[in-house]
Each structure stands twice: as structure tokens, then as C-alpha cells.
Structure 1
Amino acid sequence: MPDGWTLKAFHEFSLDELYSVLQARSRVFVVEQDCAYLDLDDADQQALHLCYWEHNQLLGYLRILPAGATFDECSIGRVLTSETARARGLGKQIMQRAIDECRKRFPKQRLRIGAQNYLRAFYASLGFVADSDVYDEDGIPHVEMVLQL
């Protein structure tokens, strides 16, 4: 996998790329966050997958979903940076790239995310506004947030 950013539909992944994505998601969302949940939710096939690679390692990842896949609006989810890449500003970079992509593909729509509540200020710094009360999702406090594209 070449270094840098890739944006792919599910069917465009090589088997090695898909394995890296699923491994990273499992490492962050299941192991690090100690949260047993079903990550494979049948939404990946509808998503665009934004990845950041260095030296054949997946360091950043998220998926962009069209309206109706998880929310009534288009959405971004499964946002992660690998443990080795944290504190480098990669989370903000990947989110900004995803927001820009959503603006191109879904102009004048609202973008909705289900954010972990402890990251509310991070997402607010990107222009998102809380749009729900805090709720529990798989044992982790979340809040829905929206951004007008």
C-alpha cells in the first residue's frame, strides 16, 4: 500500500487492505475501548473508506456513509487513529478530508455523527453542534452531532 491518503469503495479494497482496516477497527474499538460489539454492521459495503497509510501500516481510518445507511443524513463513522500515530494531528486531518469529501458528494445536506461524548469539543472545533442528549452506546457515552455542509 502506498504511503498517503486513499479513498475507496468497499469493493476496491485488496484483501490485505481490508484485513488492515478490520484489524485496526477491532484493535481500537473492541480491545482498547474494552467494548464487545458487532463491528461488521452491513454498512461497509455502502461506505467510502478514507485511509492514511505509512510504511504499509494503516494509521488513520474512517468511513463516509450516504443518507439512509445509518442516519437520515450522510454520516461519518468508525473514526480512528492507530495508537502509534496519536498526538500528530491526524484525527483532525482525516476528519477535515472527510468533511470536504462530504461537501463535494452531498452538497447542502447535513452531516451527522454519533460522537463519543468525551470527544465533543474536538468535533465542535470542526463545526459540529450537539443535536441530542448524551446516550449510552455499547457502554460508552455518545452524543449525536451535526454539521451543515
Structure 2
Amino acid sequence: MEFTFYCKPFEELNNFEVYHLLALRQLVFAVEQQCIYLDPDGKDLNAYHVLGYDTEGKLIACARLLHDPKWPGYASFGRIISHPNVRGKGAGRALLNFVMVQMATLFPNEPIRIGAQSYLLQYYQAVGFQRIGAEYLEDGIPHCDMVKVNSLPTAG
């Protein structure tokens, strides 16, 4: 399957992009994972947003890149998801690879810290993240913090 990714600051997103972005996040977080919380938390306004599309122009993946106030001195990303219909087809890996290039471009040489769902540890370890600290619950789902040195990926 083929995917196309874009990265834009919030103020450059159009109404349709914002609508589809929030709809995808609600599909995954509220409906699928049953995490009931106010998704528009104010952080979107100062973040960059990665939007991934399939060949038919449907939004199939997204992520939010930012400086999260809870982790001073780190760049971060979150709200990273792929649509249930494209899981197992390479969308998640393609999204993470694109996110890593964008992080190195937007936040050069800044370490990255994320709060990862625990079942995704290996997914993030594959691109150089290391677990730090103990596991904790967030919205009833086990998470752990992870960090990574931020640099452009090398061919290998």
C-alpha cells in the first residue's frame, strides 16, 4: 500500500483537515480504545501535525509534534495513530519513519521524550527509543516514558 505524508503547523491546516484529523483521533482513542477525555487540549494550536493519506485521498494516519510543557528541554510527539483499516499494511511504520525525519528537521539536536503505550515499546525501540522509568496508567492504558537522541535517520 502507498501512503503520502505532510507536516503542517496548526494554522496552515484547513477546515477539512482539522475535521478529519479530529474524527480519526476520536475513532481510535474514544471509540476503539474507549478513552473518554477532551481531545482538543490546547496543545494542537502550537504543534505541527502529520497527516498521512492513502492513494484515494483518505486520511489514514496522523501525529502531533510539539514541545510539550510537561517535559521541558525535550521535543515530543503524540496522538500518533493509524486507521484500523490500514493496520498491518505498513502505515504505522511509514508514519513513524516520517515523524522521525520531521522531528529531526523541526527540532534539530533536541532529545525526544514520549509517553508510549506499553504494548508499543518494540515499535519505538526499533527507531532508537529507550524506556525510562516505571510503567504507569494513563486513561486506563499502561504507558511508559521513552527517550531518544534526535538526529536524522541514516541509510543502512
Q: The TM-score by the shorter chain falls in which range?
A: over 0.9
- C-alpha contact 2:130 2:146 (8 A) present in aligned 1: yes
What secondary structure sits across from 1:31 in the alignment? helix
Structure 1 residues 77 and 70, CA, compared in 2 at 3 Å: closer, same or farther? farther
Q: Match for 2:47: what amino acid? A: A
Structure 1 residues 69 and 58, CA, compared in 2 at 3 Å: closer, same or farther? farther
Partner of 1:86: 87
For 1:48-59, list aligned pairs within 5 A: 48-54=48-54, 55-59=56-60
Partner of 1:143: 144
CA distance in 2, matches of 1:106, 1:9: 13
Partner of 1:95: 96
Give 1:33 deviation, angstroms: 0.3
Partner of 1:105: 106
CA distance in 2, matches of 1:70, 1:29: 21
In structure 1, stretches of 5+ residues that fail to align are none
Give 1:70 deviation, angstroms: 4.3
Give 1:69 deviation, angstroms: 3.6
What secondary structure sits across from 2:93 in the alignment? helix
Give 1:95 deviation, angstroms: 1.1
- Give percent identity, aligned residues only: 34
Give 1:37 deviation, angstroms: 1.3
CA distance in 1, matches of 2:116, 2:46: 20
- C-alpha contact 1:43 1:70 (8 A) present in aligned 2: no
Instruction: Could you list the structure 1 runs, at least 4 aligned residues long, displaced by more than 3 angstroms after superposition.
Output: none
Query: What's the CA shift string for 1:112-140, capped at 9, x where partnerless?
Result: 11000011111111110001210010111
In structure 2, stretches of 5+ residues that fail to align are 151-156
The count of corresponding residues between Structure 1 and Structure 2 is: 146
Give 1:71 deviation, angstroms: 2.1
CA distance in 2, matches of 1:119, 1:7: 23
- C-alpha contact 2:77 2:114 (8 A) present in aligned 1: yes
For 1:13-28, list aligned pairs within 5 A: 13-28=13-28
2:39 matches 1:39: yes
Comparing 91-100 and 127-136, the one that deviates more: 91-100
What root-mean-square deviation, in Å, do the aligned CA atoms of Structure 1 and Structure 2 show? 1.3
Give 1:48 deviation, angstroms: 0.5
Partner of 2:153: none
Give 1:43 deviation, angstroms: 0.3
